Structure formats: structure tokens, C-alpha cells
Amino acid sequence: MSDLQNASGTPKFQMILASSGQGLLDKRAELIYKKTKAALEDKLTSLNRRKDSIEYEILNLTDLSVETKDSLRPGDKSYNPVAWVDKLCDLTMQLELLEVEIRVAEEVQAEFFSVTE
């Protein structure tokens, strides 16, 4: 039997056109739910990766160990206190804003995609 016909001999295209009702609505709802849930999970993954990246940048920035045992110069020769403070403040602000965005996304996930009893 051809893939284009079902057991009763009705062409598949005709079956698709005739299908309606709750079964079709349920399938559409399931697909929309899956796509939307995946989009939110992708957003959270992206936000958490950005957070990790900023935390790593802060870690590198705050590694001010001296170059040698007899040197008092932090980091390297190009150390600039004003630039260091500006960069640290900027990264800290980015991190705080990102943490708020993550918290909001997690709240949306809990409200709309968690099973409630």
C-alpha cells in the first residue's frame, strides 16, 4: 500500500484536509508548548553562559598578583588604576543586571512551564 493512502484508500492529503477538531488542536498546542519551552530554556542557557563569562572576566581582572617576588607592581606594566576601577564597576553592573534577568526568566519558567498541583 502506498504511503499516500491509508487503509481505507483515502489519499493522505484528503485526510489532512479533513482532520480537525480536538486532536488537531491538541497537537498544535503541544508543538507550540514545546517550541516556547525550548526557547525559554535556550534563553536561560545563554544568560548563564554570559554570566559565567563575566565572572571569569572579573576573576582575571582581580588577579593582581605581582609579576615577580621582588616587584610591587600589580599585574603587568600597563596596569592603570582608573581603567581597572572603571572595568570592574562595569563588569559588576553587567553581572547584577544579568542576575536580575536570569531571576525573571526563572520566574517565568516556574509560572508557565512547571507542573502545578
Q: Where are the domains of the chain?
A: 34-113
Q: Per residue in 24-80, pLDDT tens?
A: 788 889 999 999 999 999 999 999 999 999 999 999 898 877 666 666 666 667 888
- Is the CB of residue 64 less than 8 Å from the CB of residue 74? yes
Burial bucket for residue 54 (CB in 10 Å: 0-12, 13-18, 19+): buried
Q: What is the largest CA-CA distance in the chain?
A: 90
* pTM for the structure as a whole: 0.74
What local confidence, expressed as pLDDT, does residue 74 receive?
A: 66
